[in-house]
Structure 1
Amino acid sequence: MKIKFKLLTMAILSTVILTACGNTPTTDNSLTDIKAKKELVVGLDDNFPPMGFRDKSGQIVGFDIDMAKEVGKRMGVKVTFKPVEWDGIILSLNNKDIDLIWNGLTITDKRKEQIAFSKVYVQNKQIIIVNNKSTISKKNSLTDKTVGLQLGSSSETALAKDVALSKSVKEIKKYSNNTEALLDLNAGRIDAVVVDEVVGRYYVSKKPGMYKVLNENLGVEDYGVGIRKNDTALTTEINKQLEAIKKDGTSNTISKKWFGKDIIYK
Protein backbone atom coordinates (compact mmCIF):
# COMPACT_ATOMS: atom_id res chain seq x y z
CA MET A 1 0.00 0.00 0.00
CA LYS A 2 2.83 2.39 0.94
CA ILE A 3 4.58 1.67 -2.36
CA LYS A 4 1.37 2.30 -4.28
CA PHE A 5 0.81 5.52 -2.30
CA LYS A 6 4.34 6.73 -3.03
CA LEU A 7 3.96 5.94 -6.72
CA LEU A 8 0.63 7.78 -6.82
CA THR A 9 2.15 10.79 -5.06
CA MET A 10 5.07 10.89 -7.50
CA ALA A 11 2.71 10.66 -10.46
CA ILE A 12 0.62 13.56 -9.17
CA LEU A 13 3.71 15.70 -8.50
CA SER A 14 5.07 14.95 -11.98
CA THR A 15 1.78 16.02 -13.55
CA VAL A 16 1.76 19.27 -11.57
CA ILE A 17 5.36 20.07 -12.55
CA LEU A 18 4.76 19.34 -16.24
CA THR A 19 1.58 21.42 -16.23
CA ALA A 20 3.38 24.32 -14.58
CA CYS A 21 6.17 24.13 -17.14
CA GLY A 22 3.68 23.97 -19.98
CA ASN A 23 1.96 27.13 -18.74
CA THR A 24 5.18 29.16 -18.56
CA PRO A 25 4.64 32.22 -20.78
CA THR A 26 6.87 32.61 -23.82
CA THR A 27 9.29 35.54 -23.52
CA ASP A 28 8.50 38.31 -25.99
CA ASN A 29 11.82 39.48 -27.45
CA SER A 30 10.27 41.13 -30.50
CA LEU A 31 11.42 44.65 -29.65
CA THR A 32 14.75 43.74 -28.06
CA ASP A 33 15.63 41.62 -31.11
CA ILE A 34 14.95 44.57 -33.43
CA LYS A 35 17.03 46.88 -31.23
CA ALA A 36 19.83 44.30 -31.09
CA LYS A 37 20.10 43.88 -34.86
CA LYS A 38 19.44 47.63 -35.34
CA GLU A 39 17.25 46.91 -38.34
CA LEU A 40 13.54 46.79 -39.08
CA VAL A 41 12.66 44.82 -42.23
CA VAL A 42 9.44 46.05 -43.84
CA GLY A 43 7.69 43.91 -46.45
CA LEU A 44 5.80 45.63 -49.23
CA ASP A 45 4.49 45.56 -52.78
CA ASP A 46 6.92 47.95 -54.49
CA ASN A 47 4.43 48.71 -57.26
CA PHE A 48 1.79 50.35 -55.08
CA PRO A 49 2.03 54.13 -55.53
CA PRO A 50 1.81 56.37 -53.64
CA MET A 51 2.17 54.03 -50.64
CA GLY A 52 5.35 52.29 -51.82
CA PHE A 53 6.90 52.21 -55.30
CA ARG A 54 10.13 52.75 -57.24
CA ASP A 55 11.00 56.18 -58.57
CA LYS A 56 12.86 56.81 -61.84
CA SER A 57 16.18 56.02 -60.18
CA GLY A 58 14.88 52.69 -58.85
CA GLN A 59 14.68 53.82 -55.22
CA ILE A 60 11.68 52.69 -53.17
CA VAL A 61 9.69 55.77 -52.15
CA GLY A 62 6.17 56.60 -51.01
CA PHE A 63 3.89 57.67 -48.19
CA ASP A 64 4.25 54.46 -46.16
CA ILE A 65 7.99 54.46 -46.85
CA ASP A 66 8.37 57.90 -45.28
CA MET A 67 6.15 56.91 -42.35
CA ALA A 68 8.16 53.74 -41.67
CA LYS A 69 11.48 55.59 -41.98
CA GLU A 70 10.35 58.20 -39.45
CA VAL A 71 9.23 55.54 -36.97
CA GLY A 72 12.48 53.62 -37.48
CA LYS A 73 14.53 56.77 -36.89
CA ARG A 74 12.76 57.39 -33.60
CA MET A 75 13.34 53.77 -32.58
CA GLY A 76 17.03 54.16 -33.39
CA VAL A 77 17.09 51.46 -36.08
CA LYS A 78 17.64 51.29 -39.82
CA VAL A 79 14.58 50.46 -41.94
CA THR A 80 15.10 48.05 -44.84
CA PHE A 81 12.35 47.58 -47.43
CA LYS A 82 11.86 44.11 -48.89
CA PRO A 83 9.56 43.66 -51.93
CA VAL A 84 7.26 40.65 -51.54
CA GLU A 85 4.46 39.26 -53.72
CA TRP A 86 1.31 40.63 -52.14
CA ASP A 87 -0.67 37.38 -52.09
CA GLY A 88 2.10 35.78 -50.02
CA ILE A 89 3.07 38.69 -47.79
CA ILE A 90 1.36 37.43 -44.61
CA LEU A 91 3.17 34.10 -44.99
CA SER A 92 6.46 36.01 -45.30
CA LEU A 93 5.68 37.87 -42.07
CA ASN A 94 4.81 34.73 -40.13
CA ASN A 95 7.88 32.95 -41.52
CA LYS A 96 9.97 35.85 -40.13
CA ASP A 97 11.30 36.84 -43.55
CA ILE A 98 10.13 40.36 -42.66
CA ASP A 99 9.34 42.16 -39.40
CA LEU A 100 6.35 44.24 -40.51
CA ILE A 101 3.91 44.74 -43.37
CA TRP A 102 3.64 48.49 -43.94
CA ASN A 103 2.00 49.07 -47.30
CA GLY A 104 -1.63 50.14 -47.26
CA LEU A 105 -2.65 46.97 -45.43
CA THR A 106 -6.38 46.81 -44.73
CA ILE A 107 -7.44 45.56 -41.30
CA THR A 108 -9.90 42.68 -41.79
CA ASP A 109 -11.30 39.97 -39.52
CA LYS A 110 -9.76 37.30 -41.74
CA ARG A 111 -6.30 38.86 -41.48
CA LYS A 112 -6.73 39.26 -37.71
CA GLU A 113 -6.88 35.47 -37.50
CA GLN A 114 -3.35 35.36 -38.91
CA ILE A 115 -1.59 38.51 -37.71
CA ALA A 116 -1.85 41.47 -35.33
CA PHE A 117 -2.22 45.10 -36.35
CA SER A 118 -1.10 48.48 -35.12
CA LYS A 119 -3.70 51.14 -34.40
CA VAL A 120 -5.41 52.60 -37.48
CA TYR A 121 -3.31 55.33 -39.11
CA VAL A 122 -5.25 55.94 -42.37
CA GLN A 123 -8.86 55.39 -43.40
CA ASN A 124 -9.47 54.38 -47.01
CA LYS A 125 -12.26 53.52 -49.47
CA GLN A 126 -12.49 51.07 -52.34
CA ILE A 127 -13.28 53.12 -55.44
CA ILE A 128 -14.21 52.26 -59.02
CA ILE A 129 -12.20 53.85 -61.85
CA VAL A 130 -13.25 53.85 -65.51
CA ASN A 131 -11.94 55.56 -68.64
CA ASN A 132 -13.06 59.17 -68.98
CA LYS A 133 -15.12 58.44 -72.10
CA SER A 134 -16.82 55.40 -70.58
CA THR A 135 -20.61 55.34 -70.31
CA ILE A 136 -20.33 53.61 -66.93
CA SER A 137 -21.58 56.09 -64.33
CA LYS A 138 -22.60 53.95 -61.34
CA LYS A 139 -22.15 50.48 -59.87
CA ASN A 140 -25.10 48.87 -61.60
CA SER A 141 -23.68 50.02 -64.94
CA LEU A 142 -21.03 47.32 -64.49
CA THR A 143 -23.48 44.55 -65.38
CA ASP A 144 -21.90 42.28 -68.03
CA LYS A 145 -18.65 44.30 -67.86
CA THR A 146 -15.11 43.10 -67.11
CA VAL A 147 -13.65 44.42 -63.86
CA GLY A 148 -9.97 44.33 -62.90
CA LEU A 149 -8.36 44.34 -59.44
CA GLN A 150 -5.23 43.23 -57.59
CA LEU A 151 -5.05 39.59 -56.52
CA GLY A 152 -5.16 39.15 -52.75
CA SER A 153 -6.06 42.78 -52.13
CA SER A 154 -8.86 44.33 -50.10
CA SER A 155 -10.37 45.36 -53.45
CA GLU A 156 -10.95 41.66 -54.14
CA THR A 157 -12.56 41.23 -50.70
CA ALA A 158 -14.76 44.32 -51.10
CA LEU A 159 -16.08 43.22 -54.48
CA ALA A 160 -16.77 39.70 -53.19
CA LYS A 161 -18.79 41.18 -50.30
CA ASP A 162 -21.02 43.02 -52.77
CA VAL A 163 -22.64 39.79 -53.93
CA ALA A 164 -25.13 41.41 -56.30
CA LEU A 165 -22.40 43.38 -58.07
CA SER A 166 -19.89 40.52 -58.27
CA LYS A 167 -22.55 38.22 -59.75
CA SER A 168 -23.66 40.81 -62.30
CA VAL A 169 -20.26 41.47 -63.90
CA LYS A 170 -19.11 39.46 -66.89
CA GLU A 171 -15.63 38.69 -65.54
CA ILE A 172 -13.31 39.64 -62.68
CA LYS A 173 -9.70 39.78 -63.88
CA LYS A 174 -7.04 39.58 -61.18
CA TYR A 175 -3.60 41.16 -61.54
CA SER A 176 -0.37 40.99 -59.58
CA ASN A 177 -0.47 44.79 -59.13
CA ASN A 178 -2.69 47.80 -59.78
CA THR A 179 -0.47 49.21 -62.51
CA GLU A 180 -1.14 46.20 -64.74
CA ALA A 181 -4.89 46.55 -64.17
CA LEU A 182 -4.84 50.24 -65.13
CA LEU A 183 -2.76 49.52 -68.23
CA ASP A 184 -5.42 47.03 -69.35
CA LEU A 185 -8.08 49.66 -68.62
CA ASN A 186 -6.21 52.12 -70.84
CA ALA A 187 -5.98 49.50 -73.59
CA GLY A 188 -9.70 48.72 -73.39
CA ARG A 189 -9.18 45.11 -72.32
CA ILE A 190 -11.24 45.71 -69.18
CA ASP A 191 -14.03 48.16 -68.38
CA ALA A 192 -13.27 49.21 -64.81
CA VAL A 193 -10.78 48.83 -61.97
CA VAL A 194 -11.58 48.49 -58.27
CA VAL A 195 -8.72 49.96 -56.24
CA ASP A 196 -7.80 51.61 -52.93
CA GLU A 197 -8.77 55.28 -53.00
CA VAL A 198 -5.32 56.43 -51.89
CA VAL A 199 -3.81 54.60 -54.84
CA GLY A 200 -6.52 55.27 -57.40
CA ARG A 201 -6.69 59.00 -56.88
CA TYR A 202 -2.91 59.22 -57.13
CA TYR A 203 -3.05 57.61 -60.59
CA VAL A 204 -5.98 59.79 -61.62
CA SER A 205 -4.10 62.96 -60.60
CA LYS A 206 -1.09 61.89 -62.69
CA LYS A 207 -3.21 61.41 -65.84
CA PRO A 208 -5.63 64.36 -66.03
CA GLY A 209 -8.55 63.74 -68.36
CA MET A 210 -7.83 60.02 -68.77
CA TYR A 211 -9.91 58.55 -65.93
CA LYS A 212 -13.00 59.23 -63.88
CA VAL A 213 -13.95 57.95 -60.44
CA LEU A 214 -17.52 56.82 -59.79
CA ASN A 215 -19.34 58.55 -56.93
CA GLU A 216 -20.29 55.18 -55.41
CA ASN A 217 -17.67 53.15 -53.57
CA LEU A 218 -17.41 49.63 -52.16
CA GLY A 219 -17.02 50.60 -48.53
CA VAL A 220 -14.69 52.25 -46.03
CA GLU A 221 -11.74 50.41 -44.51
CA ASP A 222 -8.87 51.01 -42.09
CA TYR A 223 -5.13 50.72 -42.73
CA GLY A 224 -2.79 49.34 -40.07
CA VAL A 225 0.76 48.03 -39.84
CA GLY A 226 0.85 44.22 -39.95
CA ILE A 227 2.78 42.57 -37.10
CA ARG A 228 3.18 38.97 -35.92
CA LYS A 229 0.59 37.99 -33.30
CA ASN A 230 3.08 37.25 -30.53
CA ASP A 231 5.17 40.39 -31.11
CA THR A 232 3.36 42.38 -28.42
CA ALA A 233 6.33 44.55 -27.43
CA LEU A 234 6.97 45.56 -31.04
CA THR A 235 3.27 46.32 -31.53
CA THR A 236 3.29 48.58 -28.47
CA GLU A 237 6.38 50.41 -29.74
CA ILE A 238 4.95 50.94 -33.23
CA ASN A 239 1.73 52.32 -31.73
CA LYS A 240 3.73 54.62 -29.45
CA GLN A 241 5.73 56.05 -32.35
CA LEU A 242 2.67 56.41 -34.61
CA GLU A 243 1.00 58.44 -31.88
CA ALA A 244 4.13 60.55 -31.41
CA ILE A 245 4.47 61.50 -35.09
CA LYS A 246 0.75 62.31 -35.21
CA LYS A 247 0.93 64.56 -32.15
CA ASP A 248 3.95 66.55 -33.34
CA GLY A 249 2.58 66.96 -36.89
CA THR A 250 5.22 64.88 -38.68
CA SER A 251 2.70 62.45 -40.17
CA ASN A 252 0.59 65.41 -41.30
CA THR A 253 3.62 66.79 -43.19
CA ILE A 254 4.28 63.40 -44.81
CA SER A 255 0.62 63.10 -45.79
CA LYS A 256 0.54 66.52 -47.43
CA LYS A 257 3.69 65.66 -49.38
CA TRP A 258 2.00 62.66 -51.04
CA PHE A 259 -1.70 63.56 -51.09
CA GLY A 260 -1.80 67.33 -50.83
CA LYS A 261 -3.89 67.03 -47.66
CA ASP A 262 -3.89 65.42 -44.23
CA ILE A 263 -5.38 61.92 -44.46
CA ILE A 264 -4.05 60.68 -41.10
CA TYR A 265 -6.76 58.97 -39.04
CA LYS A 266 -7.73 61.02 -35.99
Structure 2
Amino acid sequence: MNWKKTAIIGTAAIGAALLFAGCGGSGNEQAASDGKPTKIIAGLDDTFAPMGFRDDKGQLVGFDIDMAKAISKETGVDIEFKPIDWSSKETELNSGRIDCIWNGLTMTPERKQKMDFTNPYMNNDQVYVVLKDSPIQSAEQLKGKNLCGQEGSTGEAAIEANANLKNSFKDFKLYPDFTSCYMDLDAKRMDAIIIDSVLANYYQEKAPGKYRILPGVVVREQFGVGVKKGNTQLVNMLNEGMKKVIASGEAAKISQKWFGTNVIVGQ
Protein backbone atom coordinates (compact mmCIF):
# COMPACT_ATOMS: atom_id res chain seq x y z
CA MET A 1 0.00 0.00 0.00
CA ASN A 2 2.27 4.41 -0.57
CA TRP A 3 1.48 7.28 1.15
CA LYS A 4 -1.25 6.32 3.48
CA LYS A 5 -2.84 7.92 6.31
CA THR A 6 -3.87 11.26 7.47
CA ALA A 7 -3.32 10.57 10.50
CA ILE A 8 -4.88 10.16 13.46
CA ILE A 9 -7.96 12.04 13.60
CA GLY A 10 -10.73 10.88 15.76
CA THR A 11 -12.49 8.26 13.79
CA ALA A 12 -16.16 8.80 13.24
CA ALA A 13 -18.49 6.12 14.50
CA ILE A 14 -17.53 2.78 13.16
CA GLY A 15 -20.91 2.13 11.73
CA ALA A 16 -20.72 5.11 9.42
CA ALA A 17 -20.62 4.41 5.71
CA LEU A 18 -19.85 6.28 2.54
CA LEU A 19 -22.01 5.75 -0.51
CA PHE A 20 -20.67 6.32 -3.98
CA ALA A 21 -23.01 7.15 -6.80
CA GLY A 22 -23.55 4.40 -9.33
CA CYS A 23 -26.98 3.25 -10.29
CA GLY A 24 -28.83 4.11 -7.09
CA GLY A 25 -29.34 0.66 -5.59
CA SER A 26 -31.27 -0.22 -2.45
CA GLY A 27 -29.08 -2.82 -0.75
CA ASN A 28 -26.58 -5.59 -1.28
CA GLU A 29 -29.19 -8.30 -0.65
CA GLN A 30 -31.08 -7.35 -3.80
CA ALA A 31 -30.19 -7.74 -7.46
CA ALA A 32 -31.23 -5.73 -10.47
CA SER A 33 -33.06 -7.33 -13.39
CA ASP A 34 -29.75 -7.81 -15.25
CA GLY A 35 -28.41 -9.92 -12.39
CA LYS A 36 -26.00 -7.28 -11.11
CA PRO A 37 -26.15 -6.37 -7.41
CA THR A 38 -27.79 -3.00 -6.81
CA LYS A 39 -25.13 -2.14 -4.25
CA ILE A 40 -21.80 -3.54 -3.06
CA ILE A 41 -20.81 -3.16 0.58
CA ALA A 42 -17.03 -3.08 0.93
CA GLY A 43 -15.33 -3.54 4.29
CA LEU A 44 -12.26 -1.50 5.18
CA ASP A 45 -9.95 -0.44 7.98
CA ASP A 46 -10.64 3.29 7.95
CA THR A 47 -7.26 4.13 9.48
CA PHE A 48 -5.22 2.67 6.61
CA ALA A 49 -3.88 5.63 4.70
CA PRO A 50 -3.49 6.27 1.87
CA MET A 51 -5.69 3.35 0.78
CA GLY A 52 -8.79 4.25 2.82
CA PHE A 53 -8.92 6.63 5.79
CA ARG A 54 -10.73 9.66 7.19
CA ASP A 55 -9.65 13.19 6.38
CA ASP A 56 -9.81 16.18 8.70
CA LYS A 57 -13.55 16.45 8.04
CA GLY A 58 -14.18 12.80 8.87
CA GLN A 59 -14.83 11.85 5.25
CA LEU A 60 -13.54 8.58 3.82
CA VAL A 61 -10.82 9.27 1.27
CA GLY A 62 -7.90 7.40 -0.27
CA PHE A 63 -6.59 5.48 -3.24
CA ASP A 64 -8.99 2.54 -2.89
CA ILE A 65 -11.90 4.93 -2.31
CA ASP A 66 -11.16 6.77 -5.56
CA MET A 67 -10.66 3.50 -7.43
CA ALA A 68 -14.02 2.29 -6.14
CA LYS A 69 -15.69 5.49 -7.34
CA ALA A 70 -14.23 5.00 -10.80
CA ILE A 71 -15.20 1.32 -10.95
CA SER A 72 -18.68 2.14 -9.65
CA LYS A 73 -19.09 4.56 -12.55
CA GLU A 74 -17.99 1.93 -15.06
CA THR A 75 -20.18 -0.88 -13.68
CA GLY A 76 -23.21 1.21 -12.76
CA VAL A 77 -23.31 -0.34 -9.29
CA ASP A 78 -23.13 1.63 -6.02
CA ILE A 79 -20.21 0.85 -3.70
CA GLU A 80 -20.67 1.61 -0.01
CA PHE A 81 -17.67 1.43 2.34
CA LYS A 82 -18.22 0.07 5.84
CA PRO A 83 -15.51 0.26 8.54
CA ILE A 84 -14.83 -3.13 10.11
CA ASP A 85 -12.56 -4.72 12.70
CA TRP A 86 -9.65 -5.77 10.49
CA SER A 87 -8.86 -8.81 12.63
CA SER A 88 -12.43 -10.09 11.94
CA LYS A 89 -12.55 -9.30 8.23
CA GLU A 90 -13.07 -12.92 7.10
CA THR A 91 -15.96 -13.32 9.55
CA GLU A 92 -17.55 -10.11 8.28
CA LEU A 93 -17.26 -11.37 4.70
CA ASN A 94 -18.53 -14.90 5.31
CA SER A 95 -21.47 -13.66 7.40
CA GLY A 96 -22.70 -11.53 4.51
CA ARG A 97 -22.41 -8.26 6.42
CA ILE A 98 -20.05 -7.10 3.69
CA ASP A 99 -19.71 -8.21 0.07
CA CYS A 100 -16.00 -7.67 -0.31
CA ILE A 101 -12.85 -6.48 1.48
CA TRP A 102 -11.36 -3.51 -0.36
CA ASN A 103 -8.54 -1.85 1.53
CA GLY A 104 -5.03 -2.79 0.44
CA LEU A 105 -5.79 -6.47 1.04
CA THR A 106 -2.80 -8.71 0.42
CA MET A 107 -3.39 -11.78 -1.72
CA THR A 108 -1.80 -14.60 0.31
CA PRO A 109 -2.13 -18.37 -0.25
CA GLU A 110 -3.86 -18.66 3.14
CA ARG A 111 -6.41 -15.98 2.29
CA LYS A 112 -7.03 -17.52 -1.14
CA GLN A 113 -8.25 -20.64 0.66
CA LYS A 114 -10.84 -18.57 2.52
CA MET A 115 -11.97 -16.10 -0.16
CA ASP A 116 -11.79 -15.34 -3.86
CA PHE A 117 -9.85 -12.39 -5.24
CA THR A 118 -10.02 -10.01 -8.15
CA ASN A 119 -6.96 -9.60 -10.31
CA PRO A 120 -4.13 -7.85 -8.46
CA TYR A 121 -3.98 -4.09 -8.93
CA MET A 122 -0.95 -3.00 -6.88
CA ASN A 123 2.35 -4.25 -5.44
CA ASN A 124 3.35 -3.88 -1.80
CA ASP A 125 6.12 -4.91 0.61
CA GLN A 126 6.26 -5.61 4.32
CA VAL A 127 9.07 -3.55 5.85
CA TYR A 128 10.48 -2.54 9.22
CA VAL A 129 10.18 1.08 10.40
CA VAL A 130 12.20 2.70 13.20
CA LEU A 131 12.57 6.23 14.48
CA LYS A 132 14.97 8.35 12.44
CA ASP A 133 17.38 8.72 15.38
CA SER A 134 17.27 5.01 16.29
CA PRO A 135 20.68 3.30 16.52
CA ILE A 136 19.13 0.33 14.66
CA GLN A 137 20.44 0.31 11.08
CA SER A 138 19.45 -3.15 9.81
CA ALA A 139 16.89 -5.91 10.33
CA GLU A 140 19.59 -8.02 11.96
CA GLN A 141 19.93 -5.42 14.72
CA LEU A 142 16.29 -5.93 15.75
CA LYS A 143 17.33 -9.07 17.63
CA GLY A 144 16.33 -8.65 21.28
CA LYS A 145 14.21 -5.58 20.47
CA ASN A 146 10.50 -4.85 20.80
CA LEU A 147 8.55 -5.15 17.55
CA CYS A 148 4.88 -4.37 16.92
CA GLY A 149 2.37 -4.82 14.11
CA GLN A 150 -1.35 -4.85 13.32
CA GLU A 151 -3.65 -7.73 14.25
CA GLY A 152 -4.72 -9.69 11.19
CA SER A 153 -2.06 -8.16 8.94
CA THR A 154 0.30 -10.01 6.63
CA GLY A 155 3.11 -8.55 8.70
CA GLU A 156 1.80 -10.52 11.66
CA ALA A 157 1.49 -13.62 9.46
CA ALA A 158 5.09 -13.26 8.24
CA ILE A 159 6.43 -13.11 11.79
CA GLU A 160 4.22 -15.92 13.10
CA ALA A 161 5.24 -18.17 10.19
CA ASN A 162 8.90 -17.98 11.19
CA ALA A 163 9.42 -19.20 14.75
CA ASN A 164 13.12 -18.38 14.76
CA LEU A 165 12.42 -14.84 13.60
CA LYS A 166 9.63 -14.33 16.12
CA ASN A 167 11.74 -15.68 18.97
CA SER A 168 14.59 -13.35 18.04
CA PHE A 169 12.59 -10.36 19.27
CA LYS A 170 12.25 -9.46 22.92
CA ASP A 171 8.52 -8.93 22.34
CA PHE A 172 6.17 -8.96 19.36
CA LYS A 173 3.09 -6.93 20.25
CA LEU A 174 -0.06 -6.59 18.16
CA TYR A 175 -2.41 -3.62 17.98
CA PRO A 176 -5.85 -3.21 16.35
CA ASP A 177 -4.45 -0.50 14.03
CA PHE A 178 -1.16 1.02 12.92
CA THR A 179 -2.00 4.33 14.57
CA SER A 180 -1.44 2.65 17.93
CA CYS A 181 1.80 1.12 16.66
CA TYR A 182 3.17 4.53 15.73
CA MET A 183 2.10 6.01 19.06
CA ASP A 184 4.14 3.40 20.93
CA LEU A 185 7.06 3.81 18.53
CA ASP A 186 7.00 7.57 19.13
CA ALA A 187 6.94 6.95 22.88
CA LYS A 188 9.87 4.52 22.45
CA ARG A 189 7.90 1.71 24.05
CA MET A 190 8.51 -0.14 20.78
CA ASP A 191 11.74 -0.23 18.78
CA ALA A 192 10.25 -1.01 15.37
CA ILE A 193 7.06 -1.69 13.42
CA ILE A 194 6.47 -4.28 10.70
CA ILE A 195 4.18 -2.54 8.26
CA ASP A 196 3.05 -2.16 4.65
CA SER A 197 5.50 -0.12 2.61
CA VAL A 198 2.70 2.13 1.36
CA LEU A 199 1.78 3.17 4.88
CA ALA A 200 5.43 3.47 5.91
CA ASN A 201 6.11 5.76 2.97
CA TYR A 202 3.00 7.79 3.74
CA TYR A 203 4.13 8.43 7.31
CA GLN A 204 7.60 9.41 6.14
CA GLU A 205 6.07 11.89 3.70
CA LYS A 206 3.76 13.37 6.34
CA ALA A 207 6.44 13.58 9.03
CA PRO A 208 9.77 14.19 7.24
CA GLY A 209 12.82 13.34 9.29
CA LYS A 210 10.89 11.42 11.96
CA TYR A 211 10.90 7.82 10.69
CA ARG A 212 13.18 5.55 8.70
CA ILE A 213 12.57 2.33 6.74
CA LEU A 214 15.25 -0.29 7.30
CA PRO A 215 16.94 -1.73 4.20
CA GLY A 216 15.43 -4.87 2.70
CA VAL A 217 11.99 -6.40 2.42
CA VAL A 218 10.38 -8.89 4.81
CA VAL A 219 7.73 -10.10 2.32
CA ARG A 220 6.72 -9.01 -1.21
CA GLU A 221 2.98 -8.88 -1.86
CA GLN A 222 0.18 -7.84 -4.19
CA PHE A 223 -3.16 -6.22 -3.36
CA GLY A 224 -6.55 -7.39 -4.63
CA VAL A 225 -10.20 -7.11 -3.65
CA GLY A 226 -11.37 -10.05 -1.53
CA VAL A 227 -14.81 -11.57 -2.24
CA LYS A 228 -16.76 -14.35 -0.56
CA LYS A 229 -15.73 -17.76 -1.83
CA GLY A 230 -17.77 -18.78 -4.87
CA ASN A 231 -19.09 -15.32 -5.75
CA THR A 232 -17.68 -15.49 -9.28
CA GLN A 233 -20.18 -12.96 -10.63
CA LEU A 234 -18.92 -10.22 -8.31
CA VAL A 235 -15.28 -11.06 -9.02
CA ASN A 236 -15.90 -10.89 -12.76
CA MET A 237 -17.83 -7.62 -12.50
CA LEU A 238 -15.09 -5.95 -10.44
CA ASN A 239 -12.39 -7.28 -12.76
CA GLU A 240 -14.21 -5.89 -15.78
CA GLY A 241 -14.68 -2.51 -14.13
CA MET A 242 -11.05 -2.45 -13.03
CA LYS A 243 -9.90 -3.35 -16.54
CA LYS A 244 -11.82 -0.39 -17.99
CA VAL A 245 -10.53 2.04 -15.35
CA ILE A 246 -6.96 0.95 -16.06
CA ALA A 247 -7.40 1.07 -19.85
CA SER A 248 -8.88 4.57 -19.75
CA GLY A 249 -5.90 5.91 -17.82
CA GLU A 250 -8.07 6.87 -14.85
CA ALA A 251 -6.31 4.37 -12.56
CA ALA A 252 -2.94 5.93 -13.40
CA LYS A 253 -4.33 9.39 -12.56
CA ILE A 254 -5.62 8.15 -9.20
CA SER A 255 -2.25 6.53 -8.49
CA GLN A 256 -0.42 9.74 -9.33
CA LYS A 257 -2.69 11.65 -6.97
CA TRP A 258 -1.98 9.42 -3.97
CA PHE A 259 1.52 8.07 -4.62
CA GLY A 260 3.15 10.53 -6.97
CA THR A 261 3.81 7.69 -9.44
CA ASN A 262 1.98 4.95 -11.31
CA VAL A 263 1.85 1.86 -9.07
CA ILE A 264 -0.91 0.06 -10.99
CA VAL A 265 -0.20 -3.53 -12.06
CA GLY A 266 -1.96 -5.43 -14.83
CA GLN A 267 -1.69 -2.63 -17.37
TM-score of the pair, normalised by structure 1: 0.85
C-alpha distance in 2, partners of 1:164/1:140? 13
Instruction: Please identify the structure whose Cα radius of gyration is greater.
Output: 1
Measured at CA, do residues 184 and 89 of structure 1 come closer, stay the same or move farther in structure 2, by a change above 3 Å?
same
Q: Deviations over 1:180-219 (max 9, x none)?
A: 1011101111000000011111011100000011111202
C-alpha distance in 2, partners of 1:40/1:190? 39
User: Helix, strand or coil for the counterpart of 1:215?
Assistant: coil
- Please say if 1:41 is aligned against 2:44: no
* Residue 247 (structure 1) aligns with: 247
- Please say if 1:223 is aligned against 2:223: yes
User: Helix, strand or coil for the counterpart of 1:87?
Assistant: helix
* Residue 114 (structure 1) aligns with: 114
C-alpha distance in 2, partners of 1:135/1:167? 21
> C-alpha displacement at 1:37, in angstroms?
5.7
Measured at CA, do residues 79 and 143 of structure 1 come closer, stay the same or move farther in structure 2, by a change above 3 Å?
same
Greater share of helix residues, 1 or 2?
A: 1
> C-alpha displacement at 1:35, in angstroms?
6.3
Letter in 1 for 2:122: V
C-alpha distance in 1, partners of 2:70/2:87? 27
- Maintained 8 Å contact 1:140/1:165: no
TM-score of the pair, normalised by structure 2: 0.85
Letter in 1 for 2:228: R
* Residue 153 (structure 2) aligns with: 153
- Aligned pair count reads 238
* Residue 12 (structure 1) aligns with: none
User: Helix, strand or coil for the counterpart of 2:215?
Assistant: strand
> C-alpha displacement at 1:30, in angstroms?
9.2
* Residue 72 (structure 1) aligns with: 72
* Structure 1 residue runs without a partner (length 5+): 1-28
C-alpha distance in 2, partners of 1:31/1:75? 14
* Seq. identity, %: 39
User: Helix, strand or coil for the counterpart of 1:225?
Assistant: strand
- Please say if 1:187 is aligned against 2:187: yes
C-alpha distance in 2, partners of 1:229/1:30? 19
Measured at CA, do residues 78 and 142 of structure 1 come closer, stay the same or move farther in structure 2, by a change above 3 Å?
same
CA RMSD of aligned residues (A): 1.8
- Please say if 1:173 is aligned against 2:173: yes
- Maintained 8 Å contact 1:30/1:234: no
